Amino acid sequence: MRPVVVFDLDGTLVDSLEEILASFRFVLTGAGLPVPDDARLRSWIGLPLAETFARLAPPEAVAELTAAYRRHYLARLGHRTRPYPGVPERLAELRAAGFGLAVATTKRSGPAKTLLERVGLLGFFDHVQGTDEGMPAKPDPEVVRRAVAGAGGAGVAMVGDTVHDVAAARAAGLAAYAVTWGAGRAEALAAAGADRVAPDLEALPDWLAAVAGRFIV
């Protein structure tokens, strides 16, 4: 079976930080709630929306805030989001080397595919798996396992930018490559058990060539 590499989306493949923060600011301000500073909001990126809003609002307001965020964010999806430097080139290199590629994201599958299409990356992937209704979010490994299954191969590694990505990779039996250009910080990613922590994806192809042999016999 061909080896499959699973990627997180926001903060790993694409720089969507300002687009995400802008939606949080808009929704919280509109509801008359305090807006945390960017560093605090950034630390929660990758969690389910309802879990984030539960930290910021009364329980009875969480569902409406979540729905309002989705309306605002989806109306502007991809307008201020771009792939990180070198991402298209690395993905093309991995495909040429015979790797299957998949995405496992906290976004729902539909918006994730739309965003990837708008930034020109969708065609690189064999499967895009969102955390759809009823599916637990990372660090639970289910979304990662479904991404691997959808790509039709044997999972070897996950690439992400948060400790939740690293934990999900570990729980799914995959090696973990963590980038620091997203929400995560090097010390926390290493402490979470990442096999490789790097500032970008430059070293990913060579690292994967070594890692894949441990999984594919």
Structure tokens at 22: 């802008």
- Strand duo 100-105 + 3-7: pairing: parallel
Catalytic one among 10, 15, 161, 165?
A: 10
- Strand duo 154-160 + 3-7: pairing: parallel
Report the alpha-carbon distance of residue 106 to residue 112 in Å, rounded: 9
Tokens 């708008």 locate to 118
3-state secondary structure the chain: CCEEEEECCECCCEECHHHHHHHHHHHHHHCCCCCCCHHHHHHHECECHHHHHHCCCCHHHHHHHHHHHHHHHHHCCCCCCEECCCHHHHHHHHHHCCCEEEEEECCCHHHHHHHHHHCCCHHHCCEEEECCCCCCCCCCCHHHHHHHHHHCCEEEEEEECCHHHHHHHHHCCCEEEEECCCCCCHHHHHHCCCCEEECCCCCHHHHHHHHHHHHCC
Active site residue 15: no
Active site residue 10: yes
Q: Which amino acids are annotated catalytic?
A: 8, 10
